Structure 1
Amino acid sequence: MIICQYSLFFTQVKIGLSMKSSFVAKLFGLCPCNTTSMTNLAVFSVIIADSLRFTSALSIGLAVLFLIIAVGISIIKIISGGIGMPRLFPVITDAASVFDLFTVVPVLMTAYVCHYNVQSIENELEDSSRIRGVVRTSLTLCSSVYLLTSFFGFLLFGEGVLDDVLANFDTDLGIPFGCALNDAVRLSYAAHLVLVFPVIFYALRLNVDGLIFSSSRRPLVVDNLRFSSVTIAFVLIIFLGANFIPNIWVIFQFTGATGAVCIAFIFPAAIALRDRYNIATKTDTILAILRIVLAVLSNAVAIYSDAYALINEKKA
């Protein structure tokens, strides 16, 4: 449960970092502190909403709009001959460059580990059997958005693509109405983040309250003081994290290499090894052990590579 809350919290910080770096500072020309304060005020209006149905639907529509614009820009530049052939394979020059390849794994883990919202979403469904369809649809939609964004983002910006691809939409695209399209991309995605924030924040607040106030007989929804205190405290912590953590890539790497790996690989394998009902076969046990070993080794290398890169960056 603590690992789940850890992942939830840093997911909030990642959203804050995205809003800080790609929305206000570039769209309105404000400093980072004013940026995050402004987006926090916007988020407050939907954090306390009774229903997140419409905000969730609108956030999906805005993410698709962002993707359509990015794909459209790429297609226009391909037709006009403004995109060269991107490099398809990594450049391996020494041992350090080999270790750098492992830093991608935690980012992928972070992208696909969203389990902590499944239970709360299932509780909101009138027919709980619909959760399977919800999960399948979500995975299909998210996978499509991730793949298309990464493909067309890399195709459009090549080796110049930044850790936060939205930051690339602050340059001259070399096409008519480029500035307007840049603003549209940042604005649509920033609005998407504002609307996604409370969906994840709901699970974070509920889990933390259950851990800290487990002995309380009053549910969180009827205790206004506890509800307000937990909400304000986490918004302030997320605000500080979004302002003082250097960039979103750092959060993706370290949460993916720790919390996400535990949730997706180590904990399920540990449950299989425990085999409470004596239904696991020998093959299941071997696969569970291999799963834990591979997860620990690969992400130990990833954490080492991340820390090594950060230390070298500070020295430089």
Structure 2
Amino acid sequence: MASYAAITAYTSEHGSRPASAASVSRQRSQRHKKESGTIGSASWLSSVINLLNTIVGAGVLAMPSALSHMGILLGTFVILWAGLTAGFGLYLQTRCARYLERGSASFFALSQITYPNAAVMFDAAIAIKCFGVGISYLIIIGDLMPGVVKGFNEEVEGFLVQRRFWITAFMLIVIPFSFLRRLDSLKYTSVVALISIGYLVILVVYHFAAGDTMSERGDIRFIEWAGAASTLSSFPVIVFAYTCHQNMFSILNEIKDNSPLRTTSVVTASIGSAGAIYVLVAITGYLSFGNNVAGNIVAQYIPSIASTIGKAAIVVLVMFSYPLQVHPCRASVDAVLKWRPSRLRSSSTSPSSSPSRSSLLGKRNTSRPARDEMGEARFAAITTVIVVLSYIVAMTVSSLEKVLAYVGSTGSTSISFILPGLFYYKISSPHSPHHQRLMKDEDDEEEYAEDDDDADGADEGTTGREGGKQAWWDLRLKGRHWRRDLLRKLSLALAIYGLVVMVTCLATNTFFVAAH
């Protein structure tokens, strides 16, 4: 690693860690806080809420069905494993963002310094994936709302039971939210969506505790499974349930405190909460119906006001999740439209055009904005096209299951595993020029910030014992070097894992499409 080599060279020449390390750390920390306040204003809680709302969607209701195919033991393990791998992908994104200028992190920006000629392909995949998911939300609204109306009044007829009317009505509600520029502006709608999720979880747990589904319950699989084919059919449902990586860079750009500890805690809290919700709903829902559980467990409950409200909660959930898909879709479309292959090649290969150290380390030039934001006209035009096209497709198509299955298999695995793994593996290479230029000062800053108190204590306690201080510092450097080398290997393993998941999901989808 560049930072390890640089500091080792310094200690070899001067005999110890710089005496002014603590003061340097404090100065850099103050500068970091100042810059964070001007670029990011989102709180830790709002970041967790938006990320958690992006993760948990209507797919939570399919978890019991997945458990019926895998069994409780294997199914619970797969849910936790999927959360762990998805969380690791998010963590790699937080690491990659530190190589970029504060507030400008994106898949496109990382592509420019790692795989510039493939940047347009990456962003196109993200845009298509988010666009397809947004359409599926509108279709869910159109399919569920007539039943919700019937649940409150079975005699209702006419336009109130027509799916197109409800798609149009709810589209008028979400349009203003889709035109919000900052993801943090959606924190209040995300709270409403999470309240809906809370109601659905309570509904499932209540019916399990009440035991009012025992007459319809089938057999229970605790350890055994239903077979390889059934298990593979449920595997993508669980893996894709954690997909939220398309919004992670926006959260990193907008969060006020973007220190490694703070951003890692956002990932941990969001993934941990989602995993807990999935396991709770999966186990209680499966134990309620056993192997007779359906893909949407709420639809199986005896018709009542509570179950009707549950369906309405699903509608509210997907309605407020729609703008969370428009946000990354718009950013990716804008990146695709800005992509210029000849310019990228010249900037990445020409020595004279190499970025300066100050710009690469996130030291902003005050004469220009830190982020190349879309102009108002461009922002409005791209958003309008996304909204109008998704509305037209949702109105004319009643099912996107097969299309979304393939888009999810490619798009979700790319965003969650392949791209974070490949980006970090490429950019953190000790031989990468970007690593040499980008990481040296930034990495030193991180080390000083983490070890400031410990280093001061070590310096005070080892006064006059330079040899002991040198050995202690060398040991810390070697340990940090070993951890970063391990992290780089794990990032490559995540990318390979993503390719395996993609192939498995595509093969499974092809098999079931052919079977049906």
Tell me the TM-score range normalised by the shorter chain: 0.7 to 0.9
* Alignment check: 8 A CA contact 1:164 1:248 kept: no
2:429 matched to 1:276?
yes
2:252 matched to 1:122?
yes
2:513 matched to 1:306?
no
Q: Which amino acid aligns with 2:274?
A: C
Cα RMSD (Å): 3.3
What is the CA-CA distance between 1:230 and the residue it aligns to?
A: 1.7
2:406 matched to 1:254?
yes
Would the alpha carbon gap of residues 151 and 249 (structure 1) be closer, same or farther in structure 2, given more than 3 Å must change? Answer: farther
Alignment correspondent of 1:208? 333
Would the alpha carbon gap of residues 160 and 262 (structure 1) be closer, same or farther in structure 2, given more than 3 Å must change? Answer: same
Alignment correspondent of 1:95? none
Once the two structures are aligned, what percentage of the paired residues are identical?
A: 17
Write the deviation string for residues 155-187 of structure 1: whole angstroms up to 9, x where unpaired: 334434333444x25x5x2xxxx4201111011
What is the CA-CA distance between 1:5 and the residue it aligns to?
A: 2.3
* Alignment check: 8 A CA contact 1:86 1:155 kept: no
Would the alpha carbon gap of residues 247 and 87 (structure 1) be closer, same or farther in structure 2, given more than 3 Å must change? Answer: farther
Alignment correspondent of 2:226? 91
Looking at structure 1, the residues matched to 191 and 501 of structure 2 have their Cα atoms a distance apart, in angstroms, of: 36
Write the deviation string for residues 267-289 of structure 1: whole angstroms up to 9, x where unpaired: 3443465463258869965x666
Write the deviation string for residues 28-68 of structure 1: whole angstroms up to 9, x where unpaired: 35233223222212211422347222112221122112211
* Aligned residue among 260, 284, 293 for 1:152: 284
Alignment correspondent of 1:36? 167
Q: Which amino acid aligns with 2:233?
A: T
Looking at structure 1, the residues matched to 284 and 401 of structure 2 have their Cα atoms a distance apart, in angstroms, of: 19
Looking at structure 2, the residues matched to 294 and 125 of structure 1 have their Cα atoms a distance apart, in angstroms, of: 30
Looking at structure 2, the residues matched to 38 and 161 of structure 1 have their Cα atoms a distance apart, in angstroms, of: 32
2:195 matched to 1:61?
yes
What is the CA-CA distance between 1:117 and the residue it aligns to?
A: 0.9
| Structure 2: runs of 5+ lacking an equivalent | 1-122, 151-160, 341-370, 432-480
Would the alpha carbon gap of residues 244 and 277 (structure 1) be closer, same or farther in structure 2, given more than 3 Å must change? Answer: farther
What is the CA-CA distance between 1:193 and the residue it aligns to?
A: 1.7
* Alignment check: 8 A CA contact 1:74 1:152 kept: yes
Would the alpha carbon gap of residues 294 and 125 (structure 1) be closer, same or farther in structure 2, given more than 3 Å must change? Answer: closer
* Alignment check: 8 A CA contact 1:74 1:156 kept: yes
Alignment partner of 1:91: what SS? coil
Alignment partner of 1:64: what SS? helix
Q: Which amino acid aligns with 2:229?
A: F
Write the deviation string for residues 95-145 of structure 1: whole angstroms up to 9, x where unpaired: xxx334223232222111211211212222222233332222211221122
Write the deviation string for residues 241-265 of structure 1: whole angstroms up to 9, x where unpaired: 4456664654663234212222333
2:380 matched to 1:228?
yes
Looking at structure 1, the residues matched to 236 and 129 of structure 2 have their Cα atoms a distance apart, in angstroms, of: 12
Looking at structure 1, the residues matched to 238 and 416 of structure 2 have their Cα atoms a distance apart, in angstroms, of: 12
Alignment correspondent of 2:293? 161
Alignment partner of 1:28: what SS? helix
Looking at structure 2, the residues matched to 244 and 160 of structure 1 have their Cα atoms a distance apart, in angstroms, of: 33
Q: Which amino acid aligns with 2:231?
A: L
Would the alpha carbon gap of residues 13 and 56 (structure 1) be closer, same or farther in structure 2, given more than 3 Å must change? Answer: same
* Aligned residue among 252, 258, 273 for 1:141: 273
Looking at structure 2, the residues matched to 126 and 294 of structure 1 have their Cα atoms a distance apart, in angstroms, of: 33
Looking at structure 1, the residues matched to 230 and 217 of structure 2 have their Cα atoms a distance apart, in angstroms, of: 25
Alignment partner of 2:294: what SS? coil
Q: Which amino acid aligns with 2:232?
A: F
What is the CA-CA distance between 1:300 and the residue it aligns to?
A: 2.4
* Alignment check: 8 A CA contact 1:18 1:248 kept: no
Would the alpha carbon gap of residues 13 and 165 (structure 1) be closer, same or farther in structure 2, given more than 3 Å must change? Answer: farther
Structure 2 length-normalised TM: 0.50
* Aligned residue among 205, 230, 237 for 1:107: 237
Alignment partner of 1:150: what SS? helix
Alignment correspondent of 1:74? 208
* Alignment check: 8 A CA contact 1:56 1:199 kept: no
Alignment partner of 1:264: what SS? helix
Looking at structure 2, the residues matched to 64 and 47 of structure 1 have their Cα atoms a distance apart, in angstroms, of: 24
Looking at structure 2, the residues matched to 52 and 121 of structure 1 have their Cα atoms a distance apart, in angstroms, of: 12
* Aligned residue among 41, 47, 60 for 2:178: 47
Structure 1 length-normalised TM: 0.78
Would the alpha carbon gap of residues 67 and 248 (structure 1) be closer, same or farther in structure 2, given more than 3 Å must change? Answer: farther
Q: How many residues end up aligned between the 2 structures? A: 295
2:142 matched to 1:20?
yes
Alignment partner of 1:52: what SS? helix
Larger radius of gyration between Structure 1 and Structure 2: 2
* Alignment check: 8 A CA contact 1:14 1:248 kept: yes
Looking at structure 2, the residues matched to 283 and 213 of structure 1 have their Cα atoms a distance apart, in angstroms, of: 32
